[in-house]
Amino acid sequence: MLSADRAKLFRLLALTNSPYDGEALAASRMANKLLKRTGASWADLFGQDEPNRDTTAAQDPPADTHSTRTAPEDFGGDIFGDKPAWTKAPPKRVVRAGRLRLFLAGIPMPIRLVLGPLTAAGYLAAWTIETDSLFDRSVRVLFSAAGVALAFGLYAMIIAAELGYRPYAPSPPIIASSRAP
């Protein structure tokens, strides 16, 4: 085995100590491929005689095996982040809250401003959905209800003021005329 291949093999073996199982498994498989490509075996590498073994049990898997595998339903992948490739997926309530926020963010800003209280209600509903604690959820529901009521009230007052409705403005005096029309 060449020294470059040997150095690569040692790097791959060091990667098998990774805390991420997928990375360790991939490094192990790459080390086996490297040995197979160079025509060496693990026994040759360690200078021992290879024991008799059944070669039919350790055959390579069929080529299409990897394309038909699916991940378990409760797992998600993060291939570009710092988490391992197989991490627990977030709870469904958190996913629903995120989808609601993404939906609201996709609405154009002028429409969100016109429908301001409904937008506020949507964001508060997403905030309420996220928690799993009964106490936290009930506090968030009360806070959200108060916030939505306040948003609708302020919005109604702004619209009424723009339309010219002044509930506390003094009305013009009614002057009684002595002339009959």
Judge whether 24 and 16 are in contact, CB under 8 Å. yes
Question: End-to-end alpha-carbon separation of the chain, Å?
Answer: 120
Helix/strand/coil for 76: strand
pLDDT at 5: 80
Residue 88's DSSP bridge partners are 75
Domain residue extents for the chain: 1-42+73-89, 92-162
pLDDT of residue 84: 56
**Predicted local distance difference test score (pLDDT) of residue 2:** 74
C-alpha atoms less than 13 angstroms from C-alpha of 78 in its C-beta half-sphere: 9
Is the separation of the CB atoms in 139 and 98 below 8 Å?
no
Cβ(71)–Cβ(77) below 8 Å: yes
- Which string of b and e fits 64-77 if b means at least 16 CB within 10 Å? eeeeeeeeeeeeee
The pLDDT of residue 74 is 46
What is the reported pLDDT for 179?
Answer: 61
Question: At which residue do the structure tokens 């609405």 appear?
Answer: 107
The model's pTM: 0.40
Q: Which of 1, 15, 12 is nearest to 45 (CA)?
A: 1
**Could you state, in chain order, the average pLDDT of each consecutive group of 10 residues for the chain (181 residues)?**
79 84 86 86 74 54 51 50 60 86 88 83 86 84 87 84 72 64 56
